[in-house]
A = this chain, B = another copy of it.
Amino acid sequence: MSRTSIPSNLKLGFLGAGQLARMSSLEAFRFGIQVAVFSDRTENEPVQFMTPYSTSGSFDSVDDMVEFAKGCDVITLENEFISSDILAEVQEKSGTPIYPSPDTFSLIENKLIEKQTFEKAGIPVTPYQIVDDESSLKEFGELYGWPFMLKSSKGGYDGYGNETVHNLEEAKKAFINLGGDKGQDILAEAFVDFTKELAVQVARNETGTVVYPCCETVQKNHICVAVLSPAPVKDTFQNKAQELALKATEAIDGKGIFAYEFFLTSDGDILLNESAPRPHNSGHYTIEGTVTSQFENHVRAVLGLPLGSTQLNKPAAAMINLLGVHQRPAETDHVEEPLSTENGHLHVYGKVDSKVGRKMAHYTLLGENLEETYKKAMHVTRKIEI
């Protein structure tokens, strides 16, 4: 249902209390909308410092989530950790709508079904196969070549739930690590000879659909370290990625914000790699980089409000992920240079503890030229230590 009015007591509930809920909340607050969060963690999450309406519970407990949902007008999510069956039950028992809908989730929560959904919609995906024993692992390697990826069909995130395997021994080990021997569906995915990884965000609801610029995600050990927008690739590739992202959002009848990650292959093909029914790290640059951020359009989309423009504010945006380098109470050191740089924007997530490799903050620099902007963003953040 679209909405043309914002009552002051509107309450948006997040199942999940991580940094994506936190950054979405900042946009909800701009509209005078209240925020409630449901956390499944024991440690304090930063968004819990931003609302008096914080609940703890388990993502497996329908009752916990129904109780929470009853106090909210709309529920949304910031992760893919809750199964669509449970979401459907929470929605039905609480009477509070959940967006993206449980039906949408059911089409992408499992990597096998996700790939089938998108293939059916005519979207090229990376070659894959369900593997369930040694011989199927071996066959896949022979067919597509070593190394390849093994992925648990549920719950992958930031490289967790994924393993690269170079030979049968590694494949067998990874199969067990990923829970294949405990009934978890394991997907083998061919290694794609890509030249770039691209990403596109799409916001969609009953009022319309908007698509963000195609950006490049720069990965290191399966962790995104930087995002460049617009992606430094030919317009035709940018347009193709945007077209596929729109088609994918249609295919799952998405209401909310969605992110799609693609491989641009050396042959010039664009293959869908992953999808996420939520704001995504590849879209953090939109906070300052585009007229309406992915977080604002997330809030608008799930509340049924008209969506905002996704135009770039400047010709180039570079976003640097700032990862923890210490194991200590979090502290973002040496911020003078990044804070003093024209059009540089520092975001600190407020996490209580720093861990090596943990996403603790990010920095977005806007400029006129992408290469220079990226170089400068790397340079001015080089001393930051968290």
Interface of A with B (CB < 8 Å)? 4-9, 22, 26, 29-35, 46, 48-54, 291, 300, 305-306, 308-309, 311, 313, 329-336, 339-340, 342-343, 346-352, 361
Q: Assuming the A-B contacts A50-B51, A51-B50, A350-B32, are A311 and B9 also in contact, with contact meaning beta carbons closer than 8 angstroms in the complex?
A: no
A340 proximity list for chain B (CB < 8 A): 306, 308
A48 proximity list for chain B (CB < 8 A): 52
Q: How long is the Cα–Cα vector from A26 to B50 in the complex, in angstroms? A: 9
A5 proximity list for chain B (CB < 8 A): 331-335
Choose from B35, B300, B330, B334 the contact partner of A8 (Cβ within 8 Å): B330
Chain B, Cβ-Cβ closest to A349: B32
The winner among A29, A300, A311 for most chain B CB atoms within 10 A is: A29
Shortest Cβ gap from A159 to chain B (Å): 24
Contact B348 A32 (CB under 8 A): yes
Q: How long is the Cα–Cα vector from A332 to B300 in the complex, in angstroms? A: 14
Contact A50 B32 (CB under 8 A): no
Choose from B26, B46, B53, B330 the contact partner of A26 (Cβ within 8 Å): B26
Choose from B51, B313, B332, B347 the contact partner of A52 (Cβ within 8 Å): B51
Contact B329 A291 (CB under 8 A): no
Listed from nearest, the 10 A-B pairs whose CB atoms lie closest are A32-B350, A32-B348, A8-B330, A6-B332, A306-B339, A306-B340, A7-B331, A5-B333, A34-B49, A52-B52
A313 proximity list for chain B (CB < 8 A): 313
Shortest Cβ gap from A61 to chain B (Å): 23
Chain B, Cβ-Cβ closest to A36: B49
Contact A351 B305 (CB under 8 A): no
Choose from B6, B8, B52 the contact partner of A335 (Cβ within 8 Å): B6
Contact B352 A9 (CB under 8 A): yes
A346 proximity list for chain B (CB < 8 A): 30-31
A22 proximity list for chain B (CB < 8 A): 29
Chain B, Cβ-Cβ closest to A32: B350
Q: How long is the Cα–Cα vector from A46 to B54 in the complex, in angstroms? A: 17
A32 proximity list for chain B (CB < 8 A): 46, 330, 332, 347-351, 361
